Chains A and B, each alone.
Chain A
């Protein structure tokens, strides 16, 4: 082998050097040349590189101080609490549990929220799952389908926990008629009004019905660049409360069928009503992804005055911003009622689950019982503003100390869960796309919902 021409060799060498220099990723398709132009590692290879911490590496620290007759066990607990919440967990909740159960130690790991579901899946597939996790309630049925979770009915007192919790939060744990977790905390959206703009629209208190709200929005619009109704986006988390309150439905009550529900006349009418508001200019820009965002629009931002009269959001709006900026300025209230005289908001929250492959399932279950008990739920509610799923705790007069919480608890009484299904992600995407296509004038409400209903039927029957 010899190169006849030096230049050709030079080119080859330089090309090689450049390919190396351009820091190209791995090439999953077996081509010998690596792609310097768009060196995106193929997704298949990124699966293995996603960081998975090894939680099982730490139980050794529990060896000391074990009472002689009881073996000391360590329960690995994953959660994604915020910073302030984690402090309460580590300094108050866990010490209390360990004092009551001296043979059990809780090793709590705060996980990052980004790509957390992938990390969980990786950990379970790799045989190193935690024992127990506080998990977003929309994931539970899919994780159950993947075989990651243990069914809870075999644990002592499981039925009691389920019976003592709000039905909407219990339903999030369903997979094929069985429960794979128990509710831990919950939240929902209520209307939050900017009191100044509410007065500007001519109201002294929050509107009671959707029609009243739309009227206020019209009055406000007449006074300048204001909007009276803010829906955070066409996704199911932000949109469901409005769709449901106005009479829309996603599926039948058993979550088995969407056709006849998602595309019923009532559903079409609900979507058309909201679309009518949008075309009339009553809706704030976030419905189609516009600026300013919901919080900035409601409170004013960077020298710009507030322009949204109301938004719908969870209790963290108040706990994150703080009393000084919200009390007396921002008014939480149950969402205005729809045709049935009620409003139906969307349930969010977290469930406690035990993993398949958990090393200490029984100790983990004890911790779950402790976390769902009235006392712990009250403690967490008062310290962090988290809404208890335990009915008894939710009705406790102690909660009155948290001034913004009452409307949320009232709202929860009539709130619905998003469709629990192993295909929840696909279902929610299909529904979101139907809504979005209407606002973008790509389809009529009827056509969009007909199509989505057919898709959702497919996902529900899979």
Chain B
């Protein structure tokens, strides 16, 4: 007992730093954000802020643009979570395959987007999908491949603009999924595959019945993070479309940013953000609970 206390005393300075940082940069802003959401908040003279009761929250549920932003955030999750997961997994399996050479190179190639800056990547895609003759994608489709007669105004139409946001999100995320699965795949005992082969199992059957069940804990972890990331997506939409055309590509995060920093409506923005936090918690809670519970016995 005394030894334990002594150990605590020894490590406490290190713990304290972490605690302090968490309190200052995570807990305090969170609590303050919730507090602000009950006011028509004036950042310059906070003491003059009018109490808003629940009106900011009522507004969240009546604002038609929240509907649009919610739809886009959910669609982004529905498209990019399976997209990143499937492509990332396939890439991992391909790179893992015996016949593939230069494994390090491939890993690097697919991981580069992950470590690149979001803002750089977003601008890159904005130029790739630029309107008219200026964009490379239009140039390839119209002038090189002759698939289309006229260039598409990618960023001026709701669904093409959303598609660009989805593409950049998937493209940037697959490397992360791939690296995690590459690691997990290496931990699956080879003997299981050999046994399956002897029993006459096809590779796809082996994937479904051996690989996937054995990497299930990782899959859960990946899913939670992908969903979390998709609902919280911000920079790609902000940098590529600014929510346009006509606010039809706003995500929940870009919309609340607009409310806060373009309309200076911090109370309403905080209310949206609190709702967003609750939504993410609800979406990932059930999975969070089961994480780490199921241990796999080989």
Contact = CB atoms under 8 A, between A and B. Distances in A.
A299 B273 CA distance: 46
A290 interface: yes
Contacts of B176: 18, 22, 36-37
B284 A289 contact: no
- Residue of A5, A28, A47, A125 with most partner-chain B CB within 10 A: A28
A207 interface: no
A124 to B, nearest CB: 5
Interface string A1-34: 0001111101100110011011100111111011
Interface string B277-298: 1001100100010000001111
A146 B169 CA distance: 37
B253 A40 contact: yes
Contacts of A27: 26, 228
Chain B interface SS verdict (over half) = helix
A15 B218 contact: yes
A134 B244 CA distance: 29
Given A26-B25, A45-B29, A36 B225 contact: yes
Nearest to B281: A29
B261 A124 contact: no
B188 A40 contact: no
A425 B296 contact: no
Contact of A289 (B114, B118, B155, B264): B155
Contacts of B114: 22, 36
- Residue of B187, B233, B277, B284 with most partner-chain A CB within 10 A: B187
Contact of B153 (A43, A142, A289): A289
A40 B43 CA distance: 24
Contacts of B232: 28-29, 35, 38, 40, 42
A113 interface: no
B233 A40 contact: yes
Interface in A422-462: 423, 425-426, 429, 433, 436-437, 440, 442
A436 B295 contact: no
Contacts of A412: none
A391 to B, nearest CB: 33
A174 interface: no
B33 interface: yes
B147 interface: no
Given A288-B156, A289-B245, A44 B33 contact: yes
A142 B262 CA distance: 10
Interface string A227-261: 00000000000000000000000000000000000
A118 interface: yes
B44 interface: yes
B233 A38 contact: yes
B84 interface: yes
A369 to B, nearest CB: 26
Given A31-B280, A437-B246, A11 B187 contact: yes
A43 B44 CA distance: 19
Nearest to A30: B30
B131 interface: yes
Interface in A329-351: none
Contacts of B173: 36-38
Interface string A135-177: 0000000100011100000000000000000000000000000
Contacts of A36: 114, 173, 176, 225, 229
A33 B227 CA distance: 12
12 contacts: A7-B187, A11-B218, A28-B273, A35-B228, A36-B173, A37-B225, A38-B169, A121-B264, A146-B45, A147-B48, A288-B156, A291-B131
Interface of B: 25-26, 29-30, 33, 42-45, 48, 80, 84, 114-115, 118, 130-134, 151, 153, 155-156, 169, 172-173, 176-177, 179-180, 183-184, 186-188, 215, 217-218, 221, 224-226, 228-230, 232-236, 245-247, 253, 256-257, 260-264, 269-270, 273, 276-277, 280-281, 284, 288, 295-298
Interface of A: 4-8, 10-11, 14-15, 18-19, 21-23, 26-31, 33-45, 47-48, 115, 118, 121, 124-125, 142, 146-148, 285, 288-292, 356, 423, 425-426, 429, 433, 436-437, 440, 442
Given A14-B180, A15-B218, A40-B229, 7 more contacts: A14-B183, A19-B225, A31-B284, A37-B228, A147-B45, A425-B263, A436-B246
